[in-house]
Structures are given as structure tokens and as C-alpha cells.
Amino acid sequence: MKKLLEQTGFSLNLVWVLLTGYMIMFMQAGFAMVETGFTRAKNCGHTMAMNFMVYTIAMTGYWICGFAIQWGGTADPVVTATMPSAAAFALGPDINALNKMIGITIGDKFYGLFGAKGFFLLGDDLYKGPILALFMFQMLFMDTTATIPTGTLAERWKFTAFIAVSFVIGAFIYPMFGCWVWGGGWLSALGKNLGLGHGMVDFAGSSVVHLCGGTLALVGAKIVGARIGKFNKDGSANPIPGHNIPMAVVGTFILAFGWFGFNPGSSLSGMDTHIGVIAVNTMLASASGAITGMTVTWLRFGKPDPSFMCNGMLAGLVAITGPCAFVDPWAAYLIGAIAGVLVIYAVEVVDACRLDDPVGAISVHGVNGAWGIIALGIFANGKYGGGWNGVDGNVRGLISGDVPQLVAQLIGIVTCIVFVGTCAWITFTVVEALIGNRVSAEDEMEGLDIPELGILGYQADLNPEEK
């Protein structure tokens, strides 16, 4: 009976992981609507199609090797000797089959680099509900990252280039950095090995998902270049308004809905009552981000542009993603409020750098992803996270007296930008050389739907006549 009770807890956790995972999957629809709504009608089919196929292509890459790289070593005895596997704790002993980590040992400390078990999900020891549920949940996180560049590069990215880059993100770039933070890799071990707080801590992915996606978008924007007509010769930017605000608003609601899966689901546990705290922190930061985003826009430009209401909310959500489990509700509200301000000014900086980001993804995901990681290092309240990454005691930030934690956070940010940025630069450069990243100027002016896909996204009614 004791075993059944234990199993009931594991099952509740599994149900929680699956259902919150489903909500994250639904965020793909939200991204599709936000990105398409904020861009022009003439490209709507193309922007939608990228958002649709990224789910399938990046998933394929993650299935082939991404999951093995990110999670294949999470339960390697070398890792668990110092850092117990959170996934195994929540989902049960089946997870222990993910037991092969490649890494280096310096002195007597082990630094994990990447996992090496789970390719194609082959093997009977992996054919278990908990392992496959972990695959699904983590795949969906990765797909969120992979869909961020499609917004920044919308209206000019070649479909073949998009496919190639998305595959590489899912198969390699995201999983590597993800392993370092969540899969038992070296960033998570900074606490245990070097005494930097609890090591790099990112509860639900301000860095792993959002800063990573924002960095990919940034490098892409640099290499692919701006849309025709975005920048004047004097460097000033022209606004190119999106065609459908209602679509973007509904998409934002879908994203905010999915975030309730994203953040609380990252507990991997329905038995941990702290999920209630995480949900509320997520909700409060989304509200304050939208409010400050609207207010600052109103004060600066005279009108409360709804696109900044949306981007303010998304900025708040991105920023709270990392610290959501470790801060008080008042701090969550504050973190979101700052994010809503940051996103407005970041958009102007991006413009000033002559980077063309039609949906503001670099500002929303990149800048506020970094802000979220820093915010954790500041506002972590020391009330949660006992034993996290194998370090005793709860996670603390500046306000509760832990300076080294903030150092670990900063190391994480720099690592993310350098590693992901380098990978992105290589990937886009190789793609440029092999197939080209960009459609022709004629196609861009016409709109990408017919040249790239052969069908108009919005089609006036045709009544074919019988011949």
C-alpha cells in the first residue's frame, strides 16, 4: 500500500507535467498569432507557416539527438552523486535510465558538458511514461525558443533557411545550453563546485528559453538584415505597422495562458504546493508588465498603443520565468513592472542599432530574459529551493544576503550570450553560404506567400466557372 501511495504521487506529478506541457504546446498558436498580427497581411501565410513548421522540424531535431544531449546525463551517477536529479525525484525511478553524461573533471570536481543517452528515444529502458513525459515537456520548452527567431526574421526569411536553422536549434544549440543549466551540466554545478550560491538558477527558462531565443534572433537580425524600407539612409527607422491587432492580442492571451503551464509546470510536480505561489507570481508580473508598458508608451507618445500593452505583458512574463518560484508576490509585481519599462526602451535601442525586429522579440525575450536572471539574483527570498542543485538551504538573492548567487547568475547570462551567439553566427553563416538566408527583393516587395508557398494567406473569393 505504501508503494501504491508513492505511485499515486508520481502519477499526480506525471498528470501535472503532461497537462501543463499541453498548455505550452498551445503557446505555439499564440506565437503564430502574435507574430502574424504584428506583421503585414501580404506575408501572413508565410509567417503562419514558419510558426507551424518550426514545431515539427525542431521537434524532429530534438527527438534525434537534442533530448539525449540535454537530458541524457541527468541521472548519471557521476552527476547525482552531488546533485540529485529533480526529474527523478518528481517522476520516479524510471528517470534513472538517463544515465550517461559526458564532461570533464578538474581537480576532483566534475563539470558536465552534454548527455549521451536517448537518441531517437530508442531502448526499452526509455520506453516508460515518465521518461517520455519528460521528453515531451522539455521538447515544448525547446520549441518555444525555436519559434522566437521566426518573429524577428519575419517578412524576409527564406523558408528553406528557416527549416535548416530551426533544425539546428532543436538538435544542438538549445540542448547544449539547456544541459548546462537544467540537465546536470556545469552551470548548475557552479554552486556545488565553486561555492557560487546554488549555481546558476533559472526556474523555468528566462535564460534557457528566452535569452537563448533572443540571442538567436539578434544574430539572425544582424546577418539577415532589415526589411526593405525599414531604415532610412540617415539610420532612422520607419514604423511598419502590423495588420491585425486583434489577432496579436488574442495571441498574447494564449501565451499568457500557456505560461501558467510553463512556469508552474516546471516544478515537474503536482505534489509541491509551491505551484500556487509560482502561478500567482506569474500572473502578477504579467499584469504589471502590461500596465507599465502601456503607461510609459502613453506618457512618451501620447497614446497607449496596444502593441506595447501586449509586449509589456510578454516582457513581464519572460522576466518572471526565471525567478517565479523564489520571490514574493510584491517582488513579482515589481519585476514585471520593470520589464514593461525595459521593453519600451530596448525596442528603441534595437532600432538605433539598425536591427529590424518586426515583433520586438529581441527586446521581449532577450533583454527581459537577462533581466529575469538578474532579478532572481536580487529578489530571491530564501524561502524555497532547499537542496536545489545539491546545495543545502534555500535559494537567496541580494535582498536575503547572498552575493555569490548573483555572480552565478551573471556567469549564466554571459555564457548564454557567448555560446548561443557563436552557434547562431556559425549556423546563419553556413546557411547563408549554402542556400542563402533571404528571399529576393522582388519577392519581399510582393509578399512572400505566393513566391515561397504558392498560395495566398488571405484569398478573395473565387467562383470558378464550370468549363
Please report whether residue 11 would count as binding a copy of itself according to CB under 8 A.
yes
**Residue 146 lies near a copy of itself (rule: CB under 8 A):** no
| Cα gap 264→294, rounded to integer Å | 26
Q: Does 109 bind a copy of itself (CB under 8 A)?
A: no
The only residue of 78, 271, 407, 411 in contact with a copy of itself, by rule CB under 8 A = 271
Q: Site for a copy of itself (CB under 8 A): which residue of 48, 69, 154, 189?
A: 48
Min CB(124)–a copy of itself separation in Å: 8
The smaller minimum CB distance to a copy of itself, of residues 199 and 358, is found at: 358
In Å, how far from its chain's centre is CA 428? 19
Q: Are 129 and 392 in contact (CB under 8 A)?
A: no
Measured distance CA(71)–CA(51) in Å, rounded: 25
Taking CB under 8 A as the rule, does residue 400 contact a copy of itself? no
Comparing CB distances to a copy of itself, the nearer of 311 and 427 is 311
Burial 259-293 (b: 16+ CB within 10 A, else e): bbbbbbbbbbbbebebbebbbebbbbbbbbbbbbb
Q: Are strands 109-115 and 101-106 parallel, antiparallel or unpaired?
A: antiparallel
∠ CA 224-424-413, nearest 5°, is 120
Q: Which is nearer to a copy of itself, 137 or 186 (CB)?
A: 137
How many CA atoms, within 13 angstroms, populate the side-chain half-sphere of residue 78? Answer: 21
Using rule CB under 8 A, residue 135 touches a copy of itself: yes
Residue closer to a copy of itself, measured from CB, 54 or 190: 54
Q: Which stretch binds a copy of itself (CB under 8 A): 12-20, 76-84, 98-106, 365-373?
A: 12-20
Residues forming a β-bridge with 115: 101
Output the smallest distance, CB 2 to a copy of itself, in A. 6
130 lies in the binding site for a copy of itself (CB under 8 A): yes
4 binds a copy of itself (CB under 8 A): yes
Please report how close the Cβ of residue 386 comes to a copy of itself at its closest, in angstroms. Answer: 15
Rg of the chain over Cα atoms, rounded to whole angstroms, equals 22
For residue 376, what are the CA distances in angstroms to 119, 386, 389? 34, 15, 15
Alpha carbon distance 299, 175 (integer Å): 42
Q: For residue 276, state whether it binds a copy of itself (rule: CB under 8 A).
A: yes
- Least separation in angstroms between residue 323's CB and a copy of itself is 15
301 counts as binding a copy of itself under rule CB under 8 A:
yes
452 forms part of the interface with a copy of itself (CB under 8 A): yes
Q: Residue 165 Cβ, how far from a copy of itself at the closest point, in Å? A: 16
Among 34, 51, 65, 431, binds a copy of itself (CB under 8 A): 51
How buried is residue 425: exposed, middle or buried, by Cβ count under 10 Å (0-12/13-18/19+)? middle
Q: Is 342 in the site for a copy of itself (CB under 8 A)?
A: no
Does residue 399 belong to the site contacting a copy of itself (CB under 8 A)?
no
Residue 389 falls in which region: left (phi positive, over 0), alpha (psi -120 to 50) or beta: left
Binding-residue pattern over the window 356 to 395 for a copy of itself, x denoting contact by CB under 8 A: ---------------------------x------------
Rounded CA gap, 218 and 327, in Å? 29
Comparison of 63 and 180: residue with beta carbon closer to a copy of itself: 63
Per CB under 8 A, the list member of 78, 113, 250, 398 interacting with a copy of itself is 250
Report the alpha-carbon distance of residue 58 to residue 63 in Å, rounded: 9
Any contact of residue 442 with a copy of itself (CB under 8 A)? no
Say how many Å lie between the first and final Cα of the chain, rounded. Answer: 74
Binding of a copy of itself at residue 287 (CB under 8 A)?
Answer: yes
The whole-angstrom separation of Cα 414 and Cα 139 is 24
Residue type, 154: A
- Look at residues 220, 245, 210 and name the one whose alpha carbon lies nearest to residue 316: 210
10 lies in the site for a copy of itself, by CB under 8 A:
yes
CB of 48 to a copy of itself, least distance (A): 4
Instruction: Check if the beta carbon of residue 417 is closer than 8 Å to that of residue 215.
Output: yes
Q: Does 55 bind a copy of itself (CB under 8 A)?
A: yes
Site string (184-223) toward a copy of itself, x via CB under 8 A: ----------------------------------------
Q: How many residues in total does the chain contain?
A: 467
Window of 76-84, 215-223, 304-312, 405-413 that interacts with a copy of itself by CB under 8 A: 304-312
